[in-house]
Amino acid sequence: MAIKSADLTNTKKEDNRNPGTDFDADLLAGISINKSAVERRAATLGTRRSVKKDWQAAWLLRAITCIDLTTLSGDDTPGNVIRLCAKAKQPLRQDLLESLDMQDHQIKVGAVCVYHNLIRTARQALEGTGIPIAAVSTGFPAGQITQAQKLSQIRASVKAGAQEVDIVISRSKVLTGDWKGLYHEVRAFREACGDAHMKTILATGELSTLTKVAKASQVCMMGGADFIKTSTGKEPVNATLPVGLVMTRAIRDFHERTGYQVGFKPAGGIRTTKQALEWLILIKEELGNMWLNGQWLRFGASGLLGDIERQLEHHVTGRYSAAHRHPMA
Our measurement of the distance from residue 63's CA atom to the centroid of its chain's CA atoms, rounded to an integer in Å, reads 11
Q: Would you say the pTM of this structure is higher than 0.85?
A: yes
Give tens-digit pLDDT for 188-226: 999 999 999 999 999 999 999 999 999 999 999 999 999
Q: What secondary structure letter does DSSP report for 297?
A: B
Residue 327 has pLDDT above 90, yes or no: no
List the Cα angle 306/295/199 in 5-degree steps.
Answer: 85
Positions annotated as catalytic residues are 166, 229, 265
Contact assessment for residue 154 and residue 193, using Cβ atoms and an 8 Å cutoff: yes
Give tens-digit pLDDT for 44-89: 987 877 788 899 999 999 999 999 999 999 999 999 999 999 999 9
pLDDT at 325: 73
Helices (H) and strands (E) in the chain, counts: 13, 8
Contact assessment for residue 154 and residue 167, using Cβ atoms and an 8 Å cutoff: yes
Strands (E), 97-222: 111-114, 133-136, 164-168, 197-201
List the Cα angle 74/67/245 in 5-degree steps.
Answer: 105
What number of residues does the chain have? 329
pLDDT at 329: 52
Class of the 25-317 domain? alpha beta
State the Cα–Cα distance between residues 12 and 316, nearest whole angstrom: 31
The DSSP code sequence of 216-269 is HHHHHHHTT-SEEE---S-SSS---HHHHHHHHHHHHHHHHHHS---EEE-BSS
Residue 32 has pLDDT above 70, yes or no: yes
State the Cα–Cα distance between residues 158 and 165, nearest whole angstrom: 8
